[in-house]
Chains A and B, each alone.
Chain A
Amino acid sequence: MISIVQVYGALLLSALGRTLLMTAVSLIFAMVIGMIFGLMNVGHNRIFNCIGTVYVDAIRGVPLIVLAYFIYFGIPAGMQGIGFTSFRLSGFQAGFIALSMNCGAYMAEIIRAGIQSVDRGQMEAGRSLGLSYGACMALIVVPQAIRTMIPSIINQFIITLKDTSILSVIGFPELTNVGKTIMGNTFKNLETWAIIGILYMIVIVTLSKVAKKIERRVNRGR
């Protein structure tokens, strides 16, 4: 175990860095996607509702690994088929697109549920004062919804971080992918995967602790 850390320490750390970078980038895009589709599903516009539902159902209905294959292999194949012969996606690009789309669908549901958990009377009170729908959402409903959403969002963050390991299948050298490499070189199954597991655990436990702190701070002003 010590020898693996000594030889591959730097490689492991850089892989961990890529895992974190992939998570962070995906989460940012997922938040945006989640906001857009979540708000579409909250409103009463049928067309928006329809778009939102189709997106969420489609993404939730496909395993992430299939989505990753589809984007990494399928899309470039399709693009080359219609004449863009030099079209390629890097592992990182395909990975963060797949992960953002996947996490975004779940985020959309969290945001929809959070907003719908706010009593209807809050919106009505705002509207009765002459505020527009958008202003009521931004000033009254969403700030209250965020409080109920925070635990679910943190949970989703952690799931997304772990889901980066699935991207090892498209050759993106994140932690799990590097684990395979090390294993292939050393044949030390037990030690390698124990180290990989512990690295994930350290990061996730640390993040959940930080998240708990944030959650407590947000809920303080009650």
Chain B
Amino acid sequence: MADRKHDAAVEYGFGKIHVMNLKKSFGKLEVLKDIHLDVREGEVVVLLGPSGSGKSTLLRCLNQLETATDGQIIIDGHDVTNRHTDINKVREKIGMVFQHFNLFNHLTVMDNMILAPVHLKLASKEEARQSAEQLLKRVGLEDKTDAYPSQLSGGQKQRVAIARALAMKPDIMLFDEPTSALDPEMVGEVLAVMKELAREGMTMVVVTHEIGFAREVADRVIFMEGGYIVEQGTPEELILHPKEPRTIDFLSKVL
């Protein structure tokens, strides 16, 4: 097992994310059927597809919130599908943003931000506070440090959630439908933060229904259906000139 891990690190050391033959079943339901995926450093990949296509499950497999049924996932040279890998250590470098924000409701914005860095001894409380303040400034919420999540709007909550993930100084950011639970007028502020992140060179995998965001920001768009990757390409190729009938069908419904 140790050898396998070592080989993987050598062989795939250059790609940020490398997924091979990934399968995931919930009981009898096979949600992911043989997924292959490579994500380069700094690449922004958007996953599109109808609900139930497996895109969220794929995303959640990347940081092992769902354990893969079969196959291999290598993140930055670490085989996260190997039971002997310290998954917590790998997760420190993979930020995740959820559809329903999942801010810690009993803590203030500031305490949400510094909980993990301080507990994991990545920073002293003072350092963590300082970098949290900078991050909150970046997402435009420096005046909300002492607010509780219940006092924030959806858009503000999601921006705090992004800042909280960034407080871990991640190499990769995963976004699981980050704007789906937002009122329409708040979608823009969240997407703006994500665009800026992309511009700064963050490696991002984004599950979204925001086709506009995909066209503008993605380096690559992947269309999934029925547990398979049906088609992928640049936004130009996939969104404007899709080849597969299923992609064409899906886009005709959402555009």
- Determine if chain A interacts with chain B: yes
**Residues of A with Cβ closer than 8 Å to B?**
119, 121-122, 124-132, 135, 139-140, 143-144, 147, 221-222
Query: Is A131 touching B88 in the complex (CB atoms < 8 A)?
Result: yes
Query: Is B119 touching A222 in the complex (CB atoms < 8 A)?
Result: no
Binds A, one of B27-35, B91-99, B215-223: B91-99
Give Cα distance in the complex from A125 to B148, angstroms.
17
Query: What residues of B have a CB within 8 angstroms of the CB of A222 in the complex?
Result: 148, 150
Find B116's partner among A119, A131, A147 (CB 8 Å cutoff): A131
Find A122's partner among B65, B104, B164 (CB 8 Å cutoff): B104
Query: Is A135 touching B65 in the complex (CB atoms < 8 A)?
Result: no
Give Cα distance in the complex from A127 to B116, angstroms.
10
**Residues of B with Cβ closer than 8 Å to A?**
63, 65, 88-92, 94-96, 98, 100, 102-106, 115-116, 119-120, 148, 150, 161, 164-165, 168
Query: What residues of B have a CB within 8 angstroms of the CB of A135 in the complex?
Result: 119
Query: A128-B95, A130-B91 are known contacts; what are 9 more A-B pairs with Cβ within 8 Å?
Result: A119-B100, A121-B98, A128-B91, A129-B92, A129-B164, A129-B165, A130-B89, A131-B116, A221-B148
Query: Is A130 touching B88 in the complex (CB atoms < 8 A)?
Result: yes
Find B102's partner among A122, A131, A139, A143 (CB 8 Å cutoff): A122
Give Cα distance in the complex from A130 to B98, angstroms.
15
Give Cα distance in the complex from A131 to B115, angstroms.
10
Query: Is A139 touching B148 in the complex (CB atoms < 8 A)?
Result: no
A144's closest neighbor in chain B, by CB?
Answer: B106
Supply 22 A–B pairs (Cβ within 8 Å), ascending by A. Answer: A119-B100, A119-B102, A121-B102, A122-B104, A125-B96, A125-B98, A125-B104, A127-B88, A128-B165, A129-B91, A129-B116, A129-B168, A130-B88, A130-B90, A130-B116, A131-B115, A131-B119, A132-B88, A139-B115, A144-B106, A221-B106, A222-B148
Query: What residues of A have a CB within 8 angstroms of the CB of B161 in the complex?
Result: 125
Query: What residues of B have a CB within 8 angstroms of the CB of A127 in the complex?
Result: 65, 88, 91
Query: Is A124 touching B98 in the complex (CB atoms < 8 A)?
Result: yes
Give Cα distance in the complex from A128 to B98, angstroms.
10
Query: What residues of A have a CB within 8 angstroms of the CB of B106 in the complex?
Result: 140, 143-144, 147, 221
Query: What residues of B have a CB within 8 angstroms of the CB of A129 in the complex?
Result: 91-92, 115-116, 164-165, 168
Query: What residues of A have a CB within 8 angstroms of the CB of B150 in the complex?
Result: 222
How far in angstroms is the closest Cβ of chain B from A118?
9
Query: Is B105 touching A128 in the complex (CB atoms < 8 A)?
Result: no
Query: Is A130 touching B105 in the complex (CB atoms < 8 A)?
Result: no
Give Cα distance in the complex from A129 to B100, angstroms.
16
Give Cα distance in the complex from A222 to B119, angstroms.
23
Give Cα distance in the complex from A135 to B106, angstroms.
15
Give Cα distance in the complex from A132 to B95, angstroms.
15
Give Cα distance in the complex from A38 to B115, angstroms.
25
Query: Is B104 touching A128 in the complex (CB atoms < 8 A)?
Result: no
Query: What residues of A have a CB within 8 angstroms of the CB of B96 in the complex?
Result: 125, 128
How far in angstroms is the closest Cβ of chain B from A131?
6
Query: What residues of A have a CB within 8 angstroms of the CB of B115 in the complex?
Result: 129, 131, 139-140
Give Cα distance in the complex from A139 to B105, angstroms.
12
Find B119's partner among A128, A139, A221 (CB 8 Å cutoff): A139
Give Cα distance in the complex from A63 to B250, angstroms.
61
Find A121's partner among B100, B116, B148 (CB 8 Å cutoff): B100
Query: Is A140 touching B168 in the complex (CB atoms < 8 A)?
Result: no
Given contacts A129-B168, A130-B89, A130-B168, contact A124 B102 (CB under 8 A): yes
Give Cα distance in the complex from A128 to B116, angstroms.
10
Give Cα distance in the complex from A104 to B223, angstroms.
52
Give Cα distance in the complex from A143 to B112, angstroms.
14
Query: What residues of B have a CB within 8 angstroms of the CB of A139 in the complex?
Result: 115, 119
